[in-house]
Structure 1
Amino acid sequence: MADEPDRRTGLLEQIADTALDDDYYVVRAGRYSQSREFNTALTGVVLGLFALLVTMAVIQTRSDRPATERERASLIANVDARKKVLTSRENTAASLRAAVAELRASTNRSDPAYEMLRVETGDRAARGPGITLTATPTSNDDRRNTNHLTDNDLQILVNGLWYAGAEAISVNGRRIGTMSAIRTAGGGITVNYDPIGPPYVIVALGNEDTLESRFNDNPSGRHWLGRVQALRVRNEVTSSDQLTVPAVTAQRLTPIHAKAIEDPR
């Protein structure tokens, strides 16, 4: 009975060792050996393709490098050139500011001629005698109708007042200067690019005793009177010895492109 455990142990080991048929090992050895050979060949092909791609990428990078370097050099040169232009323009602007400051410092602002020049150019508000012309369109002067007061009518009116001797003019509170404009925009009239509407109030400084009569006698005045009669516009003219007109806005006072011509003397 003492030998029975050893006999059972040997039997279990024998069963474990012979659990699979010998043919299984034969088939397994043939199949998996072929698979390993196939995997090795596929791995070699993949590695070869990867090496080819890396080589092509390196060659392409080397061939593109000169063009990239030229583009980079061109960009750097362009940036440097623009920096030089900017520096030059900044220096020019600083020089012009210094020149303007010097001119302002050298101007005798207490000189009456200086103040009169500012009034004539519209740089300062002005007051004095003159006339006020108020044009009020009636209901017949509808903007949907082509027969209404236009920017051209107001232009002719202002020119007629200048011709009659006006020294300063404003239209609905907008001073008329050498760079002013009376135009039509968006179906309405603008003065100095500000929209205005009826009633149109024109203030003209000048000799109040002769300004109206001289206006009525000149061609522009006659054209205006004909227009207001045809359109049935209420046209009222009053005179006063204390009228005021504002200064011209800065945008319509400073020339940008016009340059002074040096006196040949």
Structure 2
Amino acid sequence: MPQQPPVRSSSTPPARPDASMSLLTNVMDHSLDDGYAEAAARKQAAGADGMPRTLRAKLGLAAGLVLAALVVTVGAAQARVAAPVVAKEREELIDRIDRETAAADALESDVDKLRDDVSARQREALKQSGGGDQTNLVGILSGATEVRGPGVKLVVNDAKESAVGGDSDPRGTSGFSDTGRVRDRDMQRVVNGLWESGAEAVSINGQRLTALSAIRAAGDAILVDNRPLVPPYTVLAVGDGKQLSTRFQNSADGLYLHALQENFGIRTSISVEDEVRLPAAPSVIVRTAEPITESAQPRTEKGTS
């Protein structure tokens, strides 16, 4: 008798009643797209709590404005508190400057009075000794006394367009970045030319020149006895006006100044004046002095044996 194959029992669950409606079942089980769930999970992990980006930006901007307003308000309050202190310090500084300026003016006035007193005493003493005229001449030539009389007025000024130059360079160099500016060497030649032409006394912008005066440069500024001058440079010279003017313009230094005018546009003008006034030089100092007597005899030393 043939054997029958064993009958296997199946534990397969019974089919669902809606198995034939799988599409509708999928729609019901997954009503939202999986992307929405992923986006919500990312926002929750980042701590955004689902807040829109524009709203977060507005809130950040508002917070920044509030902070800036707070800083400005605190700064204004501090400035308002410090303003009286700063104003008081400024007033005190201005008062101190005014006091020091007044003190300097008073000292300068005292110096002028003492200088005039010394000059008067010197003239009186020299009159008694018979040397008054010679001393007055020495004072004029040395710049120790004020001078007034006929002379010339020479004005030297920078060119209007100081960068414009000619084909030649009367200064003998080409290293000047601005050839239309008046240089210290130019004023040196002008002053030396006036002395050579017969000037008895010379001043530049009210600064009296003496045998010890120096005309130098400090950058673009011209210094006369360490005092800065600004253009235009007004040179006053006492002497025979017409003769002094003619001699200077025909001299080598006068022709040099004319060349500067032609080549670089430096402005110059010279005029004959009936009277010019030159102040005394403030830097004249008597370094050595010896009394002069009619019976002065050379000194001899007694030897010992």
Choose which of 170, 176, 201 in structure 1 pairs with 2:203.
Answer: 170
Structure 2 residue runs of 5 or longer lacking an equivalent are 1-117, 164-175, 291-296, 299-305
1:216 aligned partner: 249
Choose which of 161, 173, 181 in structure 2 pairs with 1:148.
Answer: 181
CA contact (8 A) 1:109 1:115 kept: no
Written as runs of structure 1 = structure 2, the 5 A alignment for 1:118-137 is: 118-137=139-158
2:134 counterpart letter in structure 1: A
Choose which of 103, 108, 123 in structure 1 pairs with 2:126.
Answer: 108
2:217 aligned partner: 184
Alignment of 1:242 onto 2:288: no
Tell me the distance in 2 between the aligned counterparts of 1:198 and 1:126.
24
Tell me the distance in 1 between the aligned counterparts of 2:257 and 2:272.
18
Mark the CA change 1:175 to 1:105 in structure 2 (over 3 Å): closer, same or farther. closer
**Greater Cα shift, 225-234 or 198-207:** 225-234
Mark the CA change 1:187 to 1:136 in structure 2 (over 3 Å): closer, same or farther. closer
CA contact (8 A) 2:150 2:240 kept: yes
CA contact (8 A) 1:141 1:149 kept: no
Choose which of 251, 254, 260 in structure 1 pairs with 2:285.
Answer: 254
Mark the CA change 1:259 to 1:226 in structure 2 (over 3 Å): closer, same or farther. farther
2:126 counterpart letter in structure 1: N
CA contact (8 A) 2:160 2:265 kept: no
CA contact (8 A) 1:125 1:244 kept: yes
Tell me the distance in 1 between the aligned counterparts of 2:274 and 2:217.
32
1:228 counterpart letter in structure 2: Q
1:177-216 per-residue CA deviation (whole Å, 9 max, x = no partner) reads: 0111110013310111100011110001111121111011
1:128-174 per-residue CA deviation (whole Å, 9 max, x = no partner) reads: 00110111223322696244210000000000001110001000110
CA contact (8 A) 1:129 1:240 kept: yes
TM-score by length of 1: 0.54
1:161 aligned partner: 194
Mark the CA change 1:109 to 1:123 in structure 2 (over 3 Å): closer, same or farther. farther
1:171 counterpart letter in structure 2: I
Q: State the number of aligned residues.
A: 159
Tell me the distance in 2 between the aligned counterparts of 1:174 and 1:201.
10
Tell me the distance in 1 between the aligned counterparts of 2:124 and 2:279.
27
CA contact (8 A) 1:135 1:236 kept: yes
SS of residue paired to 2:154: strand
The 4+ residue runs of structure 1 with deviation greater than 3 A are: 103-107
Choose which of 148, 151, 160 in structure 2 pairs with 1:139.
Answer: 160
Instruction: Tell me how large the CA RMSD over aligned residues is.
Output: 2.9
CA contact (8 A) 2:158 2:266 kept: yes
Structure 1 residue runs of 5 or longer lacking an equivalent are 1-99
Tell me the distance in 1 between the aligned counterparts of 2:285 and 2:230.
26
Q: Which has the higher helix share?
A: 1
